[in-house]
Structures are given as C-alpha cells and as structure tokens.
Structure 1
Amino acid sequence: MTTRTGSTVAIIGPGAIGTAVAAALHEVGHTPLLCGRSSRDSLTLLDGDRRIVVPGPVRTDPAASADTVDLVFLAVKTTQTEAAAAWLTALSGPETVVCVLQNGVEQVESVAPHAPSGRVVPAVVWFPAQAQADGSVRLRGEPRLSLPDTATARVVAEVLQDTRCAVDLAADFNTLAWRKLLQNAVAGLMVLTHRRAGMFGRADIAGLAVAYLRECLAVARAEGADLGDEVAQAIVEKFQAYPADMGTSILTDREAGRPLEWEIRNGVIARRARQHGIPTPISDVVLPLLAAASDGPG
C-alpha cells in the first residue's frame, strides 16, 4: 500500500509488533499490505479504551504477489525468518528497504541472506505489545523504534513520521541494541519460572537477575557498547515497575509450546563471551535450561 511519502509498504508477520506498526500507519491513512501464514480479514489493536481495526486481508501466498514494495517491516520471530523468506523474495526489489523488527544484535546477518535484493535496517523495538486470546493485540506502552542514523534508515523514519510510532535515529545504535538485548536476556528467567514481571519483586530473583545482567554487561562492553555499571540495576527496576502480570514474548511462546528465541536473546551473549574469553557461569546454567524448554515436553 502507498503512504503519504509515495512509498509502498508491507508488513510480514502481523503478530503483536506487526499489528502495532500496521495500526500506526492505518491511523494516518497509510494502511500497509499485510502478509502472514494465516488468512485474516483484519487486525485489531487495543490501546486503553481505544480499538483500532486495520483492514486486511492478510495475504498468505507470496507467489500471488506481483509487485515489489519500497519498504518491508519484517515482524516475524527469528525462529520464523526462514519460513518468511519467500515473502522477502516476492516483495523485495533492488531499492527495497527491509526494516527488521526482531530481537537480537544479529538482525542484518540473519536476514540479509533471505533478502539479497533488499537493504536491511536493524531496529530496536522499545514497546510491549501482547497478543490476546481473541486474536487482538494489547498495546502496553508508547510505540517507539530506534534505528541506526543512516540514509537507508531515514526511509523508515519518513514513512513513520506523524504516526503514533516514534522513531529515534541513533548515532550509537550498537549501544542501544545491546542494552535491549540485556533486557531480553534477563526476561528469559521468566520462562524458567513460568512467572511474569511480578517475580522480580522477590529479593532473591532480583539479585540473580542483577548478577546475570552484570555478566552480560561485560560481554556488551567487549562488543563496543557504552553501558555503565548502573544498567544492570536499572533494567531490574524497570521489570519491578511493570504491572505484575506483564509478560514477555518468549514467555508467551513457552506457554504456547512454540520454539523459543533463546539463541538470539541469550545464546548470543555466551557465544560472544567465548570469543572474548569472558567467563559466563550463570549463562552456562541458564542456556541449557532454555534450550530444553524450547524442545517442548517430554
């Protein structure tokens, strides 16, 4: 679909984050093309008392897509990137920008092989959005993205200008990406306890979380992130300030019996740590437990 900038936009993966971005565009009259695994007539975003319905349909056949678009938002989980490759091929032309709305610090490396004709832009998603039992999505924060300050990323910022989804163009994107990765990594503890944000109110869990984050922080710094000692405590305090029932996408996947994004949220930290010779005793316990949880029951 065409935006006010004249750019055509598609969203691959109309889940929680994809629905939030689609709603932001639809509100200002720029309804995107919706692409996914399951056909749906529309998407619904709940924001407080507001209900925003984004008209579909959600298209399910990449082979039926005749035209490439100027901008693709890739909003599938990293565990689903390979399955979305046909959509990336169908929608990407030589000048197509692919904005990756996924977790992790390896977005470009993981997506570029599936979008050889596109220009890949990594993003940090700073807002929580949760899928509801009825298929709608509940927005639980102001939508905001951080992108690297590049000419390609400015294409994304232009399209989202004047929408509810704010965009920051960051000179030090690496630091922001690692800070978000640390937040995602400690959320993995919620999978191992089957608990939501309320668990961080326990002194023992808060202490474990801070210790794990300090371990992760050493790796982030070795990777060039400019993060101070206060970051570990600040992240835990952020979880403590959330509503007690606030979940996370990796916990939602665990509850639904789906494969977990443990490798790009937690495994990458241990992997990079080995490259730098940094010991990770807490990761060495957390990782096999998350991997086993991802395998499913039995």
Structure 2
Amino acid sequence: MTISIAVIGPGAIGTAIAAVLHEAGNTPLLCGRTAREHLVLQDKGRLVTVPGPVWTDPEELDGKIEVSLVFLAVKTTQTEAAGKWLSALGRQGTVVCVLQNGVEQVESVSMYCPLAQVIPSIVWFPVQAQSDGSALLRGDVRLTLPVGPASRVVAEALKGTRGSVKLAADFLTQAWLKLLQNAAAGLMALARRRAGMFGRSDVAGLTLAYLQECLSVARAEGAQLGDEVPQALLDKFLAFPADMGTSILTDCVAGRPLEWDVRNGVILRRGHSHGIPTPISDVVVPLLAAASDGPG
C-alpha cells in the first residue's frame, strides 16, 4: 500500500486536514478508534467526502505501509490511547505533526514515537463535530509551525491545498498567544455557554482579568506579547457568532474528559514555578478539573 500521509484521530480537526489533502489528490491513511467508511466535512454549504476506511488496529497494517508524515489530531486526553498508532507509524525519519492544544506537545507525544521527528503546531481554524458524525468548518484551514526542516515537510504536504502553513521564527510567542485564547475559552465550559456569554459586562471583565494573569505567565516563559493582547483576544470572542462553541465546552456538556491541564492547568503550574500570583487560575483550574474528573 503506497500512502505517504496518515491522520491519527479523524475527529473534527482530523477530518478538516484529511479533506484538504484529499481534495488535492493526496488522500491520507485514516487511523482511529471507530471503524468508518468515510469522513465528511461541511464547508460553506458544500460537502467534502474523504474515502476510508478508518483503520482501528495498527497490527492489520503491520509491514504493509510506511508513511513519511503523520498528523496527530486526537485530543490530549486521548494521546495515550493513540500511542499504538504513533509507535507503529512514527518510525525513523517520519515527521509527526501534533495538532493539539497547549505548549507541551513535543514532550507529551515523543515518548510514544522516540524515533520520529515530533513537531508542534498551532491550529487556528474553528471546526466543530456534528451529531451526524460530520465536521463543520467555520474558517480557513491555517497552521503555524516552528521554522525547521521537519516543518517544511508539512508545508510541502499542504502546498497546493486550501490549507496554509506559516513557519514562525518566534513560535513560542505564537504558541502562548493561542494558549491564552484556549485558556479563556475554558470559562465557557464552566458557564456551559457559547461565545455570546462574552457580551456580558461581568464575564468580559472576568475574562480580561484572567487573560492579564495568563499574560504575566506567558511573558515569564519568554513570550513576546504586548499589553494589548487581553483586549484583542476578548474582542475576538465578542466577534464570534453567539452560537459558536469550543471543544472544551462540547466535551463538558457531553460528560467527556476535558483538556483542562494543557489549556488551563499549565498556566497555574508555570505561574507557580515563576512565583507569579494566579488567583483566578487558583479557582478556575480546580473547577475545570472537577468538571472533567469528578468525583460527584
């Protein structure tokens, strides 16, 4: 079997990446937990169908396939479960592009594929899983990666597709900028409300205060982010459609484990390591952890 690219985790983000590759004539190998005949992406009123199957057992492909690029699109709470695929596909010379939240992607993934070149990425496009199993794309497919040879492999794979890749010399700053956005989105899970909630003056004030706290931690970590960032991120939430959700809200409503640690807990941990007061994180993180893991 000759396939050069694999997508592990055919959820919303994985479906979007698979769809833009398929449209350009480079249909990827699909790897996941649940067998499916195909994937469907809804995009601006049209449907893109990516042929399957979705493979569920790496042993079925043992010795039959080698890939040069793997997109890991499972949530961080599912990385361990995807470890068998990472181990099977992440061989010497393989590039593994991690499409996950947070600033600790390389550390959390490399243990499962020590021979591969693991690179982090920032996913900028909103895409939501739908009840019928399809994914709804609500923006352009954009990724940011650090400058380097492995990142150029990803850029080349998406060249000629509707997806775009930006190689950032200061990737750390961009990664923390996205983390601040994700951290604020955690408030939506606690309120169980969509983006319209940021139109409340009290929620807007809380969001600004929380983002200011997060900004102090990001700067201590070396991110070059200006004073305007908290307001700019709040303005972004305010500009979203009122009914736009986020993955952590969807998981919370569905009773699934939440990515609370990589999106919010990391702010608390890194803040404490730098001696930075984090009074809002001290409240937000335990509540998100309890919403995710219980008991009760």
Give 1:10's aligned residue.
Answer: 6
**Deviation of 1:48 (Å):** 1.4
Distance 1:20 1:2 in 2: 22
2:27 to 31, 55, 58: 31
The one-letter code matched in structure 2 to 1:152 is A
Is the Cα contact below 8 Å between 1:44 and 1:53 reproduced in 2?
yes
Distance 1:146 1:95 in 2: 21
1:168 to 158, 166, 177: 166
Is the Cα contact below 8 Å between 1:65 and 1:91 reproduced in 2?
no
The one-letter code matched in structure 2 to 1:16 is A
Q: Does 1:81 align with 2:79?
A: yes
Give 2:211's aligned residue.
Answer: 213
Give 1:189's aligned residue.
Answer: 187
Is the Cα contact below 8 Å between 2:21 and 2:27 reproduced in 1?
yes
Distance 1:175 1:65 in 2: 39
Is the Cα contact below 8 Å between 2:16 and 2:137 reproduced in 1?
yes
Q: Does 1:230 align with 2:224?
A: no
**Deviation of 1:50 (Å):** 1.0
Give 1:151's aligned residue.
Answer: 149
- Once the two structures are overlaid, the 10-residue window that deviates more, 193-202 or 57-66, is 57-66
TM-score with structure 2 length normalisation?
Answer: 0.98
Give 1:141's aligned residue.
Answer: 139
The one-letter code matched in structure 2 to 1:138 is L
Alignment of 1:1-298 (within 5 A): 8-66=4-62, 67-296=65-294, 298=296
Distance 1:284 1:152 in 2: 38
1:241-278 deviation per Cα after TM superposition (whole angstroms, max 9, x unaligned): 00000000001111111000000000001101111110
SS at match of 2:48: strand
**Deviation of 1:103 (Å):** 0.1
Distance 2:142 2:14 in 1: 13
Is the Cα contact below 8 Å between 1:68 and 1:92 reproduced in 2?
no
Distance 1:2 1:166 in 2: 25
The one-letter code matched in structure 2 to 1:171 is A
**Deviation of 1:61 (Å):** 0.4
Is the Cα contact below 8 Å between 2:19 and 2:50 reproduced in 1?
yes
Percent of pairs with identical residues:
69
- Structure 2 residue ranges without an equivalent (≥5): none
**Deviation of 1:68 (Å):** 2.7
SS at match of 1:93: coil
Is the Cα contact below 8 Å between 1:127 and 1:141 reproduced in 2?
yes
The one-letter code matched in structure 2 to 1:116 is P
Distance 2:218 2:145 in 1: 18
The one-letter code matched in structure 2 to 1:285 is V
**Deviation of 1:296 (Å):** 4.7
TM-score with structure 1 length normalisation?
Answer: 0.97
Distance 2:204 2:113 in 1: 41
CA RMSD of aligned residues (A): 1.0
**Deviation of 1:236 (Å):** 0.6
